[in-house]
Amino acid sequence: MPLRATHQHMDMTRRPRRLRTDGVRPLVRETELSASDLIAPVFVDATTDERVPIETMPGHERVPVDQAVARVEEVLETGVEAIMVFGIPESKDERGSRAWASDGVVQEAVRHITAETDAYVITDVCLCEYTSHGHCGLLEEGAQDDPVLTVRNDETLDLLGNIAVSHARAGADMVAPSGMIDGMVGAIREALDADGHSEVPIMSYAAKFESAFYGPFRDAADGAPAFGDRRHYQMDPANAREARREVELDVEQGADVLMVKPALPYLDVVAQVREDWDHPVAAYNVSGEYAMLHAAADKGWLQLGDVAYESLLSIKRAGADLVLTYFAEDIADRL
């Protein structure tokens, strides 16, 4: 019998299917997803006094400062205990000065959230939502006309330090610089320590790529660059070896948690950072990763809960300890 004969060329003592029965699957599972791994982004908006749905990110809203606590309580109810706060200021200027104002939108919201809830509060430290030009730092002279000139690196560092300190003073538990400015982690560490916040950890967006997957977020946070793009500070999506050097610099400067962003299109980078360092690794499952699953599910082409779960599981499997995701509440509810 030819069928049997072929079996003789294989070692049929090894049968991986033995470990796939319902009974044994949970015992041999390598990766678990739990609500305690997830961080939910929250948008606080100083330009509105009611909640505004974010069209490109179904289920998410910008909330006014006086709704921030209620919004965070919704997150906590699902079992997710950590949030990342983004702010939309009432006004913008060249320098992004509302980003470090003690009565700024994030500072006010964080004061309320930390006073009234037990959430672990992380803040985004960047200028792009606060500058009139939408870039992540102070602009070079003539940047509008010359695409090679954009953000003045070293002059921006002081501002990032001011922002981080203002967040820590408001009660932030952790700060997360996302601007991809060289030296930002060291500058923020120094500023925090000098102001008495040596206990506040820094989660650095260490390898942040210049990604088209940020599109929906830029609507949500009103932070799209008014001209040009972020190619001169965010990383080229083609480069993984460069990510090694980027991450190493942040480690040297004292980063406590290392983030890769986006997540799904960069799982190789997540795995590489996991391999190279003992630090906790975070991955940001960004707005575009969220929006595309929603859009396909809307068409009835994908089962939303299943693909969301599988996506987050794969991010953990690649080596992330923490996952920032707009799916946080939905998935926690399901777990």
State residue 63 phi and psi, 5-degree precision. -120, 145
Nearest distance from C-beta of residue 274 to ligand PBG, angstroms: 21
Binding mask 169-198 for ligand PBG (x = CB under 6 A): ---------xx-------------------
Question: How far apart are CB 188 and ligand PBG at their closest, in Å?
Answer: 14
Distance CA 37, CA 173 (A): 16
Q: Which is nearer to ligand PBG, 136 or 255 (CB)?
A: 136
261 is catalytic: yes
Measured from the CB atom, the residue of 136 and 206 that comes closer to ligand PBG is 136
Residue from 119, 126, 170, 282 that binds ligand PBG (CB under 6 A)? 126
What are the DSSP calls for 133-191, one per residue? T--SSPBPTTTTT-TT--B-HHHHHHHHHHHHHHHHHHT-SEEEE-S--TTHHHHHHHH
Interface with ligand PBG (CB under 6 A), residue from 110, 136, 163, 187: 136
For residue 10 the two structure tokens come to 């294989």
Select 278 or 281, whichever has its Cβ closest to ligand PBG. Answer: 281
Nearest by Cα to 205 from 180, 224, 230, 223 = 180
To the query of whether residue 316 is one of the catalytic residues in this protein, the response is: no
Q: How many CA atoms lie within 13 A of 290 on its CB side?
A: 27
Minimum CB distance to ligand PBG smaller for 128 or for 255 = 128
- The most distant pair of C-alpha atoms in the chain lies apart, rounded to whole Å, by 82
Least gap, CB of 212 to ligand PBG (angstroms): 10
* Interacting span for ligand PBG (CB under 6 A) from 99-107, 157-165, 213-221, 238-246: 213-221
246 binds ligand PBG (CB under 6 A): no
Give the pairing of strands 257-261 and 174-177: unpaired
CB of 93 to ligand PBG, least distance (A): 17
The number of residues that bind ligand PBG (CB under 6 A) is 12
Q: Which of 39, 63, 88, 286 binds ligand PBG (CB under 6 A)?
A: 286
Binding of residue 232 to ligand PBG (CB under 6 A): no
Q: Phi/psi zone of residue 305: left (φ > 0), alpha (ψ -120 to 50 degrees), beta? A: alpha
Q: Determine if 218 is a binding residue for ligand PBG (CB under 6 A).
A: yes
The residue to which tokens 């003992």 are assigned: 278
Q: Minimum CB separation from ligand PBG for residue 179, in Å?
A: 6
Phi and psi (nearest 5°) for 17? -65, -20
Query: Of the residues 92, 208, 299, 316, which is catalytic?
Result: 208
Rounded to the nearest 5°, which phi and psi values hold at 276? -80, -30
Residue ranges of E strands in 16-157: 38-45, 52-53, 61-63, 82-88, 120-125
Query: Nearer to ligand PBG by C-beta: 89 or 179?
Result: 179
Q: Is 287 in the site for ligand PBG (CB under 6 A)?
A: yes
The tokens 């460069």 sit on which residue? 242
Distance (Å, whole) CA 168 – CA 200: 7
The piece of 73-81, 98-106, 149-157, 214-222 that touches ligand PBG (CB under 6 A) is 214-222
Please pick, from the candidates 214, 233, 266, 327, the single residue that binds ligand PBG as defined by CB under 6 A: 214
**Amino acid identity, position 69:** V
Q: Is 157 in the site for ligand PBG (CB under 6 A)?
A: no
Unique residue bearing structure tokens 């997830």: 38
Element (H, E) at 306: helix 304-318
Q: Could you list the residues that contact ligand PBG (CB under 6 A)?
A: 124, 126, 128, 136, 178-179, 214, 217-218, 223, 286-287
Catalytic sites, residue numbers: 208, 261
